Amino acid sequence: MKSLVILISGRGSNMQALLEAGFQADRITVISNNPNATGLEIARKYGAKTIVIDHRTFPDRQTFDTALAEKIDACQPKLIALAGFMRILSDRFVQRYQGRLMNIHPSLLPAFPGLGTHARALQEGIKIHGCTVHFVTAQLDHGPVVIQAAIPVLPEDTEETLAARVLQQEHRIYPQAVRWFMEDQIRFTENHVEVIDSSVREIALYSPGLPE
């Protein structure tokens, strides 16, 4: 079964990009830890099943992760895609879904893991910034890279303008990475990305260049 589970905590703009991509999936389920996430209503408009598991009702992270895993397993997903899911997952949870858990991060990993990536990029004065789709491993934001998009940092950029331009590329490359996995063009093997279809190598880095 080619089932896809998407995890969100807020609006889920990357979730929406995935839903608009029109994957050949038997079922798409959106799960949120936040009952007030606006992305839930967006997901329903696209015909996705939605589930809420409020993390605040659980005594600790492990108990929440166990409940979340039960809901995910009931969906029998080929892939779990994190799309603005603002919960740190336990090592046990990550290991349970190793090779089937994907995330998008707003930097060119391994640069700037964690939060505040755009502000840190500007503070460091880098000339190239971007985003990365990667498989999730126990080490935060250090899993094998699937695809990246690189954009120039412009002299007039602020944190907000840089974030907006990076987000545009997130919406471009995340659906591409998920499609590759769902269509068996790539897979996670021995802690690296194995390419099944050679054409994937040609577009694993997208560089749109200067804005018009």
**Active site positions, annotated:** 105
DSSP annotation of 144: P
Distance CA 168, CA 177 (A): 15
Q: Calculate ∠ Cα 180-99-55, nearest 5°.
A: 110
What is the token pair recorded at 70?
């039960």
Residues contacting residue 212 through CB under 8 Å, at least 6 positions apart: none
DSSP annotation of 88: P
